[in-house]
Structures are given as structure tokens and as C-alpha cells.
């Protein structure tokens, strides 16, 4: 470390909080300061589109760090504060209230922000979902006498749709692409999820763009280019997210679809690192392809690696990308990058559950995706993740058959 100036972490979400915890677990003894622009303690975001909308009483997102843990681990948490500048030469972080905090090393875990609708009307009936305050504001509208329109057929939009239907609301999902889950989810799984929503009463409209949106104190009207007019009580917008890179860019740190880091999560400026949703990084399993992942697992994994490297470990990041989504009684899981696969092998698991294995040109397993009720696919996806990490070239007939994937793992030396 550079003296005892300590480590400052900008961003008090999953990644930043996990880094702070890991630093203490690794024996780091200097000052740790965790800065978040929300007044709340660090909390889990995945429940925002599910439990927080569904819980009958006292909805809240599970905390990552409590006041007790912060005190016991001597982690200084500054909530409701934003960083306005980084003095890279003087190694100081400038807060929006004018305070200047010195650092030995700095970690940026600034996350991502919802992509906003251009020229959309303002008002209390149009919602984005990123924070616990967003979820609590939306929650009263998710009820049986409401019509909830959802713009965007990605994970967030579909999870909100499932939660709204579970509470009895009428739901319409609008997706401009020809199908839902166009990004990173294979078509057979997207079709299964679309059918699941339709069976639960959701109207799913794909391949149609929005012509205009009007909102007043009574309703939101969404006019579509196919001539339809959808009149809803509330509109939830889930059209993607943008990495929060402004602070880094202003400091002269390289940006490339996120804050650009190397395999050790180091930015282009000495002693400044980045991790989580805000950063893009080269992945060794995919030929050094630069990725940016908006995923809970990635935030955890990179947070723990950042903690080690902030202390000088110089380890490379190589965790297999992993995504999941719970909708109704079904779970969708993906290990690896589906778009890297050229050959797809299907394994049926019964009860409508199935897994797709994605192989590259050398027949190496590069991804596995699955969907099904309960935990039907969990074991195969977990074992597939291990096979992907080991760069296994599996026999195609074994993937299609009822062969235990564990038997395909290389034997320990």
C-alpha cells in the first residue's frame, strides 16, 4: 500500500460492499471508506423486481452490510454522498459537498444506470427500476385493479411482469425486437419464457416499436407503430442500462463500453481499479474478448478479486459468466456466453425443463443455458460451468444423453 492513506471504494452496491468485506477478511488493517450515493446501507438488487414487489408486509431488500458489521469491521460508510472528481496526481477523491478524501488506492464500483426513454413525458406513472426507492414507489401500483405496461422484454421487464401478474394485475409487455430476451438468451429458451408468461395471462407484443407516450394524472397511453394504443395505469421501462463512467472519464481514465480495465481490474491510471457493472474487461475463456457484465455473480466475484489485487495479489479474472432469472415457478440459468457457440446440443430433463449446450468451432463447451420449474436445471448448469472453466471438449453424444456431466470433468492429477 501507499502509506496508510487506505482504500476508498466509490459505489456501495453489491460489488463495493463485497470488496470492503473481503479486504477485512484478508487481513487488511488500514482505513476502508465505502461511499454510496444512496442513503441506505448496501443491499441486494435482485430482490427488487421480485420479493420487494411481492412481499405482503414490510418489504425490504436484504442488506449486504449492516450497521453492526460495518462497526465490527471498521468500515467507514458515507451514504447519500456522490463523488464529483478524482485528483489522480494528488490521490484525492472530491465529494460533491467539497470534501477531499485522500486515498492510497481507489476502487470504482459505480454500477450502471437505467437507460432512459428519450423525450418521454415526466410524471408519477412512469417508472424505472434500479434502487430500493424505485421498487417501493412502484409497489403500490402492482395490484389486482391495475393495468401495468412494461416496455422492454429483458430480465428486469419480465421479472416485473411476473410479479405484477402474481399480484393479480393485468400486464402487457412491449418489445421492439422480434422476440423477448434477444440479448444473450437462445431462442428456444426465450420462446419457453414467452409461453410461460402468456399461460399466466400476460399479453406479450414483440416486433413493434413505440410511436409515442402520453401521461397524465389518470393513465399512461402508449401508441405503437402497428396502430395499437395501450392505455395503462402505470408504465415500467426496462430497456437496458448504461455503465456509470462519468467520474472515470472526467479523470482521464480510459473508457470502452464501461471503465476499461485489464485482467487484474486495473484501470489506465495507477492505483485506480474498477469492478462490477461499470467496467469492461478481457476474458481469457473467450480469446480476450472485452466484456461488460451486469450480473450479481460477476459483482461478487470481481469484488473479491479486487480486494485481493488492491493488496497486491496481481491475480487475473477468469470466472465463467453466470446469469439467472426467476419468473413464476421457473428458473432460467446461463453459464458462459451463448453467442460464442456454433453447435447447440439439447438435453431434456422432464417436466418441460431442458438444457442447451453451446460448443465453439473446436467443439469446446463455451456455454450452457437452461430453463425449467424449480431447481430442475441447477445441477447440469453448475457442472457445465465447471466444464467451461476447464475448457473441456465433451463428446456430443454424452451431452444429448442422460450422462452425468461430472464424469466429463478432467480427473485430478
Question: Which residues are CB-neighbours of 129 under 8 A, at least 6 positions away?
Answer: 48, 49, 114, 135, 138, 156, 160, 236, 238
Nearest to 368 by CA among 383, 353, 390: 383
- DSSP letter assigned to residue 410: P
**What stretches of 63-202 show up as alpha helix (H) in DSSP?**
67-72, 132-138, 155-166, 187-199
From edge to edge, which strands make up the β-sheet containing 220-224?
A: 210-215, 220-224, 229-232
Residue in the block written with cell 429483458: 154
Report how far residue 257's alpha carbon sits from residue 172's, in angstroms, rounded to the nearest whole number: 31
pLDDT value of residue 60: 79
pLDDT in 10s for each residue of the chain, 413 residues? 334 689 999 999 999 999 999 999 999 999 999 999 999 999 999 999 999 999 887 777 789 999 999 999 999 999 999 999 999 999 999 999 999 999 999 999 999 999 999 888 877 899 999 999 999 999 999 999 999 999 999 999 999 999 999 999 999 999 999 999 999 899 999 999 999 999 999 999 999 999 999 999 899 999 999 999 999 999 999 999 999 999 999 999 999 999 999 999 999 999 999 999 999 999 999 999 999 999 999 999 999 999 999 999 999 999 999 999 999 999 999 999 999 989 999 999 999 999 999 999 999 999 999 999 999 999 999 999 999 999 999 999 999 998 999 999 998 64
Q: In whole angstroms, what is the distance from residue 146 CA to residue 164 CA?
A: 9
* Residue 84 buriedness (CB in 10 A; 0-12 / 13-18 / 19+): middle
H-only helix segments in 55-154: 67-72, 132-138
Give the burial class of 189: count Cβ atoms within 10 A of its Cβ; 0-12 exposed, 13-18 middle, 19 or more buried.
buried
pTM of the model: 0.95
Domains and CATH numbers, the chain: 7-113+241-310 (3.50.50.60), 116-237 (3.50.50.60), 329-408 (3.30.390.30)
CB count in 10 Å sphere of residue 226: 10
Burial of 169 (C-beta count, 10 Å sphere; 0-12/13-18/19+):
buried
* pLDDT score, position 413: 47
Name the CA dihedral angle for 53, 176, 245, 312, rounded to a multiple of 10 degrees. Answer: 70
Place of cell 458489521: 69
Note the pLDDT of residue 118: 87
What integer pLDDT is reported at residue 412 of this predicted model? 62
Q: What radius of gyration, in Å, describes the C-alpha atoms of the chain? A: 22
Question: Residue 246's pLDDT is what?
Answer: 98
| 110 three-class SS | coil
Contacts of 237 (CB under 8 A, 6+ apart): 114, 116, 117, 120, 126, 127, 128, 151, 152
Residue 90, pLDDT score: 97
Question: Which is nearest to 169 in space by CA: 232, 263, 84?
Answer: 232
Per-residue model confidence (pLDDT) at position 402: 87
Neighbours of 346 (CB within 10 A): 12
pLDDT of residue 399: 96
Amino acid at each position: 500500500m501507499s502509506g496508510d492513506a487506505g482504500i476508498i471504494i466509490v459505489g456501495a452496491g453489491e460489488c463495493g460492499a463485497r470488496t470492503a468485506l473481503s479486504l477485512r477478511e484478508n487481513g487488511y488493517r488500514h482505513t476502508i471508506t465505502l461511499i454510496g450515493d444512496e442513503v441506505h446501507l448496501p443491499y441486494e438488487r435482485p430482490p427488487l423486481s421480485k420479493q420487494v414487489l411481492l412481499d405482503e408486509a414490510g418489504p425490504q431488500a436484504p442488506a449486504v452490510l449492516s450497521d453492526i458489521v460495518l462497526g465490527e469491521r471498521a468500515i467507514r460508510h458515507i451514504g447519500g454522498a456522490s463523488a464529483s472528481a478524482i485528483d489522480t496526481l494528488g490521490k484525492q477523491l472530491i465529494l460533491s459537498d467539497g470534501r477531499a478524501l485522500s486515498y492510497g488506492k481507489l476502487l470504482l464500483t459505480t454500477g450502471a444506470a437505467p437507460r432512459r426513454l428519450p423525450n418521454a413525458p415526466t410524471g408519477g406513472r412512469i417508472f424505472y427500476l434500479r434502487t430500493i426507492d424505485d421498487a417501493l414507489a412502484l409497489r403500490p401500483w402492482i395490484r389486482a385493479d391495475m393495468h401495468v405496461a412494461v416496455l422492454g422484454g429483458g430480465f428486469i421487464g419480465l421479472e416485473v411482469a411476473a410479479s405484477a401478474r402474481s399480484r393479480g394485475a393485468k400486464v402487457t409487455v412491449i418489445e421492439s425486437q422480434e422476440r423477448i430476451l434477444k440479448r444473450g438468451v437462445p431462442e428456444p429458451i426465450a420462446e419457453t419464457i414467452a409461453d410461460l408468461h402468456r399461460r399466466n395471462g400476460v399479453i406479450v407484443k414483440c416486433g413493434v416499436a413505440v410511436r409515442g407516450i402520453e401521461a397524465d394524472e389518470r393513465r399512461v397511453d402508449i401508441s405503437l407503430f402497428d396502430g395499437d394504443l395501450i392505455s395503462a395505469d402505470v408504465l415500467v421501462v426496462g430497456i437496458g442500462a448504461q455503465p456509470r463512467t462519468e467520474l472515470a472519464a472526467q479523470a482521464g481514465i480510459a473508457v470502452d463500453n464501461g471503465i476499461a480495465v485489464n485482467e487484474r481490474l486495473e484501470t489506465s491510471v495507477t492505483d485506480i481499479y474498477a469492478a462490477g457493472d461499470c467496467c469492461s474487461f478481457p476474458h481469457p475463456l473467450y480469446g480476450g474478448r472485452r466484456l461488460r457484465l451486469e450480473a450479481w455473480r460477476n459483482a461478487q466475484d470481481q469484488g473479491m478479486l479486487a480486494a485481493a489485487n488492491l493488496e497486491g495479489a496481481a491475480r487475473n479474472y477468469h470466472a465463467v459468466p453466470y446469469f439467472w432469472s426467476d419468473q413464476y415457478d421457473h428458473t432460467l440459468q446461463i453459464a458462459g456466453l451463448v453467442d460464442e457457440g456454433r453447435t447447440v446440443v439439447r438435453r431434456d430433463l422432464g417436466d418441460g425443463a431442458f438444457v442447451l449446450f453451446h460448443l465453439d468451432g473446436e467443439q469446446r463447451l463455451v456455454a450452457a443455458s437452461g430453463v425449467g420449474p424449480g431447481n430442475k436445471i441447477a445441477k447440469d448448469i453448475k457442472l457445465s460451468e465447471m466444464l467451461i472453466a476447464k475448457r473441456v471438449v465433451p463428446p456430443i453424444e454424452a451431452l444429448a444423453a442422460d450422462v452425468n456431466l461430472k464424469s466429463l470433468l478432467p480427473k485430478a492429477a
